C-alpha cells in the first residue's frame, strides 16, 4: 500500500474516531428499530395468515383477546398440524385458504429480519474494537509526531483520547448487548413460527 495513502487514512481515522463511533451507534439504533418493527409486522402478518388458513373450520380455536400474538399463532399452528395429520382430506381446503396469503412478501420479510438481526449482533461486537482502535491511534499519533522527543502534552492528550474511546466502546457494547439479548428470544420465536408455517404450507402443496 502507498505510504501516503496509508498516512492519509491514518490521519483521517485519528481525527474522526469519535465520529466513527457515533456513526456506528446511529447504525445500531437504526437496526434495533428496524428489527423491532419488522418483528411486529411479521408476527401480525403471520397471525392473519393463520386466521385465513383456518377459515371454514368450525372446530378452529376461538380468538382470545387475553392471549398474546405468539400464543394465538402457536395454537393455530398446532390446530392445522393436527388437522392435517388426522384428516389428510382437509389439505385441499387448507390449500384453497392458503392462496389468499401473499407468501412471497411474508418470506421476504422473514429473510430480511434474519439479515438485520445478524447485522445487529455483529455491530455490537464492533464497539469494543473501535475502543481499542482509538487507543492504538492515539498512541501511534504521539509516536509519529514525537520526532524522537517526549511530548508530555501530546502523551496527556493521547491518554485522554485513548480512555475516552475505550470507555465509549465498552459502554455502547454493554448497552446494545443488553438490548440484543432482550430481542433475541423474540426474534428466534418469530423466525421459528415462520418456519413452522412454511413447513405446513409445503406439506399442503406437496399433496
Q: Is residue 104 part of a domain?
A: yes
Q: Is residue 60 part of a domain?
A: no
Compute the CA torsion angle 112, 113, 119, 122 (nearest 10 deg). Answer: -150
List, in order, residues 6 or more apart from 155 with CB less than 8 Å away. 142
Q: Is residue 190 part of a domain?
A: yes
Cell numbers 392445522 correspond to 80
- Grid coordinates representing 70 are 405468539
- HSE of 33, CA atoms in CB hemisphere, 13 A: 6
Query: Could you list the residue range(s) of the whole structural domain that residue 198 is in?
Result: 3-52+67-206
Helical H runs in 16-150?
17-53, 69-86, 91-98, 103-146
Distance in Å from the first CA to the final CA of the chain: 60
Residues of the chain with pLDDT under 50: none
Q: Is residue 135 part of a domain?
A: yes
Q: Is residue 61 part of a domain?
A: no
**pLDDT, position 2:** 55
- Grid coordinates representing 197 are 408455517
Contact 132, 164 (CB under 8 A): no
**pLDDT, position 146:** 54
**pLDDT, position 80:** 83
- For the residues of 70-94, what is the DSSP string, one character each? HHHHHHHHHHHHHHHHH-GGGHHHH
- Grid coordinates representing 203 are 406439506
CA-wise closest residue to 7 among 150, 144, 148, 182:
144
Cell numbers 420479510 correspond to 109
Q: Is residue 58 part of a domain?
A: no
Q: Is residue 136 part of a domain?
A: yes
Domain count for the chain, please give it: 1
**pLDDT, position 151:** 60
**pLDDT, position 149:** 58
Amino acid at each position: 500500500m502507498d505510504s501516503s495513502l496509508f498516512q492519509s487514512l491514518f490521519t483521517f481515522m485519528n481525527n474522526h474516531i469519535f465520529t466513527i463511533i457515533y456513526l456506528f451507534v446511529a447504525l445500531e439504533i437504526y437496526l434495533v428499530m428496524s428489527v423491532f418493527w419488522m418483528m411486529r409486522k411479521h408476527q401480525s402478518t403471520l397471525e392473519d395468515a393463520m386466521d385465513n388458513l383456518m377459515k371454514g373450520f368450525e372446530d378452529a380455536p376461538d380468538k382470545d383477546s387475553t392471549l398474546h400474538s405468539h400464543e394465538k399463532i402457536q395454537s393455530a399452528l398446532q390446530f392445522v398440524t393436527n388437522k392435517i395429520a388426522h384428516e389428510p382430506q382437509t389439505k385441499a381446503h387448507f390449500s384453497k385458504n392458503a392462496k389468499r396469503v401473499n407468501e412471497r412478501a411474508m418470506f421476504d420479510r422473514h429473510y430480511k429480519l434474519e439479515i438485520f438481526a445478524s447485522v445487529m449482533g455483529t455491530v455490537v461486537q464492533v464497539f469494543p474494537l473501535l475502543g481499542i482502535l482509538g487507543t492504538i491511534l492515539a498512541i501511534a499519533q504521539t509516536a509519529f509526531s514525537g520526532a524522537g522527543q517526549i511530548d508530555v502534552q501530546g502523551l496527556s492528550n493521547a491518554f485522554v483520547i485513548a480512555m475516552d474511546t475505550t470507555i465509549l466502546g465498552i459502554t455502547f457494547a454493554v448497552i446494545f448487548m443488553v438490548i440484543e439479548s432482550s430481542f433475541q428470544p423474540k426474534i428466534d420465536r418469530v423466525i421459528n413460527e415462520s418456519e413452522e408455517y412454511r413447513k405446513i404450507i409445503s406439506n399442503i402443496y406437496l399433496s
